[in-house]
Structure 1
Amino acid sequence: MTPPIELATVRAVRVGRPRELTDEQGRSWHSAFLKDPAKGPVALGFDGLAGDEQADLRVHGGPDKAVCVYPLLRLAEWERELDVGPLGAGAFGENFSVDRITEAEVCIGDVWEVGGSVVQVSQPRGPCWKLARRWAIKDLAVRFQRTGHTGWYLRVLQPGLIHSGQAVRLLRRPHPDWTVLRANRVHYGDDSEEKAALASCPELGRSWRTKLAAGAADPAAVSSSSQHRRLFGPSGGGHL
């Protein structure tokens, strides 16, 4: 048996519950975007970390999106791009902040050992308007989507206890050609054949497989209005 390969270290673990927030214009919004550092080891179950919740279960949470991960290596890029900073762990509402790896090195279906838990990379993160509202940058979700530097989600195969400082060890990589970065480019691109190929990946999250299959069969079937709402808010006309 091939020994596990150490890919990265979990440098921060963060959890949060929905709360009422106020933007720079004094408008309130309900979100669990702001995450607090976990105090000591935290239980990781099939639906996520203990103490972590989502404000809108229609689009967030569930077994395919139990844990949101963002690579620390991207933060310096965003500091330069957005002229903000310094950005730190949790800047984009993630649960795990990891070092050494990005969307270009992580693949759909990767199985990782983290502490006593076993997790699997399920899909890229689909950026939404709450990123933009948090940082008061109207097109921030669009920029995330365009770059493919979105982070990714994990599903839990074996629950366990998680804390910062634990190694991320790769146990299996069934789809080395399907990096998270490539999956993002295919999902938001126009190549029907590649969409169909990605849709056939059984380890990919169900919602992404459904959308990709629909887009491969009929590009017009994918609603541009729903994409606009996700990127710019419920009104579809901007939120800042």
Structure 2
Amino acid sequence: MNIRVMDWFTGKPEDISAEKEKPVFSAINKTKRSEESLYLSETGLEGDEQADKKSHGGLEKAVCVYPWEHYAYWSRTLEEALPHGGFGENITVQNGVEEDVMIGDIFRWGEAVVEISQPREPCYKIAKRHGIKKLPLYVRETSYSGYYLRVRQAGTVEKHQPLRLETRTTSLSVAGVNRITYHSEDLTEVEEALECASLSEEWKKSLYKKLEKLKNKH
């Protein structure tokens, strides 16, 4: 499996609030990079920053990935032509939709080695960027979330080089994690997802809370 990098982006925190609103700082408005190569450290692409480092970035969320295939759907649904980078991703990719990639998939990308750690959790800043309050809800409903990569080996990456799958150790897809987290009422499914060693600890916290609620219902 090869995932093609179509465009890549980095950003710096800025105030994205409307006039007279409380300031909201975010790096979601990322800038397209024209370079053919960038250095990928354990915390992300060179030049990329995060405003809220508790919710974005860090070792488990070093690179945000969004599939190109979803942009046509959003353009039709929202009646707005969204450019690549519209979801604040670092890389827009082709041939890497959520149904087809698994938590723990390890890819070689140039000199670097990366691993899928969790889905991307849609937050209010996506809604604020596009002026669509329910956009995070729409993302959860469709599972068109994108996902995060952790960096297992830092190094120089090149835009024209695809992410080449090297190791697949689970059958838990990114779309499957979304479905279990937001839509499933099956205790066994939640427990099995929690057993996935490659799923980020932050995401597991949400699943533990869901598990407790389901147990209380039963």
- The answer to whether the 8 A contact 2:187-2:215 is kept is no
1:83 aligns with 2:79: yes
**CA apart distance, 1:15:** 0.5
For 1:144, what is the secondary structure of its paired residue? helix
Q: Which residue in 1 is equivalent to 2:16? A: 21
Q: Which residue in 1 is equivalent to 2:48? A: 52
**CA apart distance, 1:78:** 0.5
**CA apart distance, 1:58:** 1.8
Aligned mates of 1:153, 1:120 — CA distance in 2: 8
What is the identity, as a one-letter code, of the residue corresponding to 1:59?
A: S
Aligned mates of 1:211, 1:22 — CA distance in 2: 28
1:180 aligns with 2:174: yes
Aligned mates of 1:47, 1:17 — CA distance in 2: 14
1:112 aligns with 2:112: no
For 1:170, what is the secondary structure of its paired residue? strand
Q: Which residue in 2 is equivalent to 1:100? A: 95
Out of 157, 164, 173, the residue aligned to residue 169 of structure 1 is 164
Aligned mates of 2:167, 2:78 — CA distance in 1: 36
Aligned mates of 2:131, 2:215 — CA distance in 1: 32
Aligned mates of 2:20, 2:126 — CA distance in 1: 17
Deviations 1:86-134 (A, max 9, x none): x221011000110122111111100001111100000000000111111
- Extract structure 1 runs of 4+ deviating beyond 2 A: 25-29, 217-221
Aligned mates of 1:11, 1:58 — CA distance in 2: 28
Relative to structure 2, which stretch is displaced further, 45-54 or 144-153? 45-54
Deviations 1:155-181 (A, max 9, x none): 000101123222110001101x21111
**CA apart distance, 1:203:** 0.3
Out of 173, 179, 203, the residue aligned to residue 198 of structure 2 is 203
1:8 aligns with 2:9: no
Deviations 1:12-34 (A, max 9, x none): 111011012343x5644311001
What is the identity, as a one-letter code, of the residue corresponding to 2:88?
A: G
What is the identity, as a one-letter code, of the residue corresponding to 2:117?
A: S
1:35 aligns with 2:33: no
Q: Which runs of 5+ in 2 are unaligned?
A: none
Indicate the RMSD between aligned Cα atoms, in angstroms: 1.6
Q: Which residue in 2 is equivalent to 1:238? A: none
Aligned mates of 1:133, 1:204 — CA distance in 2: 28
Q: Which runs of 5+ in 1 are unaligned?
A: 222-240
What is the identity, as a one-letter code, of the residue corresponding to 1:178?
A: L
Q: TM-score, normalised by structure 2?
A: 0.92
Q: TM-score, normalised by structure 1?
A: 0.84
Aligned pair count?
213
Give the share of equivalent positions with the same residue, in percent.
37
For 1:92, what is the secondary structure of its paired residue? coil
